[in-house]
Amino acid sequence: MVDEVWILRHGETEWSKSGQHTGRTDLDLTRTGEVSARSLAPRLDSVPFDLALVSPLRRARRTAELAGVRTYELDPDLVEWDYGDYEGMTRVQILETRPDWSIWKDGGPGGESPPQVTDRVDRVIKKVRSRKGRVLVIAHGHILRCFAARWIDQTVRVGDHLPLETSKLSVLGFDRGTPTIESWNS
């Protein structure tokens, strides 16, 4: 069984900076995003990983490369939540027309529902838990928050309580066999 899973949200993009929902839109990192991704290299270089999984979207791949991750597998299940009609919109814009909306309970109209995202994340967790050693996962804010919630056997709605900034690392593990969040958003 895997010992530890390090998860890393990609560096800043123009849309993450402005608060726009960035699901499948394939954006580049900003200069700030590139600098912060590079700053992770010494920390990641000091830790041996037995497997690295990366979202195929450009912002995650570029973060991996700048952070010095030389060998990784692309995993399509790690792409960000498909926001559908809400792609590119901010939460404030969405709440103007739908004041009770939450991605965690409603999903994105024309995109993915929470159960669909749960299925994707559960496939990645199954793959990760079948490995030995330490795994690195580089992906996106909402999908990683869902990953952490499912890691500790909770619904994806728990992700609402796990803010995750760009270029931040978190560590998931086990305490006597029980899945745990060891550190978050550091």
pTM score of the predicted model: 0.97
Task: Kindly report, residue by residue over 97-129, the tens digit of the pLDDT.
Answer: 999 999 999 999 999 999 999 999 999 999 999
Alpha-carbon dihedral angle through residues 15, 156, 9, 20, given to the nearest 10 degrees: 0
Separation of alpha carbons 18 and 88, rounded Å: 10
> Is 34 a residue of the active site?
no
**Residue 144 and residue 81 in contact, taking contact as beta carbons nearer than 8 Å:** no
Q: Which of 12, 34, 80, 87 is catalytic?
A: 80
**Residue 109 and residue 85 in contact, taking contact as beta carbons nearer than 8 Å:** yes
Separation of alpha carbons 76 and 78, rounded Å: 5
> Is 65 a residue of the active site?
no
Residue in the block written with tokens 């060891």: 182
The sheet with strand 169-175 has its strands ordered as 73-74, 51-54, 133-139, 2-9, 169-175, 178-183
**Residue 144 and residue 131 in contact, taking contact as beta carbons nearer than 8 Å:** no
Per-position pLDDT tens, the chain of length 186: 899 999 999 999 999 999 999 999 999 999 999 999 999 999 999 999 999 999 999 999 999 999 999 999 999 999 999 999 999 999 999 999 999 999 999 999 999 999 999 999 999 999 999 999 999 999 999 999 999 999 999 999 999 999 999 999 999 999 999 999 999 999
Q: Which of 10, 21, 140, 142 is catalytic?
A: 10
